[in-house]
Structure 1
């Protein structure tokens, strides 16, 4: 009996597994670290998956909204591109037209300038036989102005006979009131040589008086030529104060100055003429020129 009991006790003791050290001591620090690491990995994996899924959802929605918003913009851009291309073609066409117009304008400008010079020359030639009489009171001519002017020139200048005039009339314009400046007379002399003789005697007989009024006789120039010649008035006034210096204003407006030595100088610009008179001529003829 004792033997059997020992035997059974031995069997029991041999079949029972030995106690685990971990069971006695509980979970250690290494197990906890491994558990935390696995949890962190799982959480990171879940976070990555969530972020990817969210990005897919958001990107899809945003893409749809962007495409919906960009659709009209793309259509507008396409339309604007076509418009810009059309404008570029139009601008190129206009540029070509402008270049052509500039060349045309330059040509026409030269032609107008040439024609203006010809018209000025023709008008001047048509006035070559004319004289302008200034200062005759209004109404003195009566109803026969041509005969009146011929008689006036004969009496004022001491001519042997009345000059042959083709026509004589006052300049166009409104008649001045009482006390106003009388309109000049324009008289066309039949012979050019007689016209020159009238002007020569008018210059030599100055001043001329008619009924106590001073009368002047000048060549009849165009407005352009008269303006150019008038620009030399101040220069001629300075030249009159220089004894021994001769000068003359030639057609259309060329001032010729003859020095006492016989040397000639010509000027078409009144500023250059004045500079010559003030800075050179007066020094050459000083102290007589004041």
Structure 2
């Protein structure tokens, strides 16, 4: 009987210790989840800040090759903003969005444009909202380029 009591006391002591450890781990996990969420928000913010000079162009057909994109977009932006100078419409880079090539020509990939001058970037986006242009009988839309996580939210 004494041995059974001794073993029961040891089991209860170990159970209490394990319960305290589990509670401590639960608190740590909750804390780490909040830290991970804060880090993900920070990364998303940095990602969006790195895209702040970008414009996402939707509707440009796939027949425009990567060599023609920048010239085509310059012509498009000149039609949208006729008063803008060539320096205002300078682009650092322009490329198709990174996604699988769609064989259906009705749904072309978006084109990402990194404007050299930040102040001019919002003007074509706002103008297109009022009067959407067309390119080869396709409606063109301009959007702020946002991180995929922001778009999901």
The Cα shift of 1:209 comes to 0.4
Q: Given the superposition, is the C-alpha separation of residues 85 and 132 from structure 1 closer, same or farther in structure 2, using an over 3 Å criterion?
A: same
Q: Which residue of 2 aligns with 1:88?
A: 12
Q: Which of residues 136, 139, 143 is equivalent to 2:60? A: 136
The Cα shift of 1:183 comes to 0.7
Q: How many residue pairs get matched?
A: 151
The Cα shift of 1:214 comes to 0.7
Q: Given the superposition, is the C-alpha separation of residues 171 and 82 from structure 1 closer, same or farther in structure 2, using an over 3 Å criterion?
A: farther
Q: Which of residues 116, 135, 148 is equivalent to 1:223? A: 148
The Cα shift of 1:118 comes to 1.6
What are structure 1's unaligned runs of at least 5 residues? Answer: 1-73, 229-290
Tell me the secondary structure at the aligned position of residue 72 of structure 2: helix
What are structure 2's unaligned runs of at least 5 residues? Answer: none
Q: Which residue of 2 aligns with 1:182?
A: 108
Q: Which residue of 1 aligns with 2:98?
A: 172
TM-score (norm 2): 0.82
| Larger Rg, first or second structure (1 or 2) | 1
CA distance in 1, matches of 2:20, 2:127: 63
Tell me the secondary structure at the aligned position of residue 49 of structure 2: helix
The Cα shift of 1:151 comes to 3.0
More helix by share: 1
Counterparts of residues 199-218 of structure 1 (less than 5 Å): 199-204=125-130, 206-218=131-143
Which has the higher relative contact order, 1 or 2, with Cα contacts under 8 A spaced 6 or more apart? 2
The Cα shift of 1:146 comes to 3.2
When the two chains are superposed, the root-mean-square deviation of aligned CA atoms in Å is 2.4
Tell me the secondary structure at the aligned position of residue 158 of structure 1: coil
The Cα shift of 1:83 comes to 4.6
* Equivalent residues of 1:141, 1:148 under 8 A apart: no
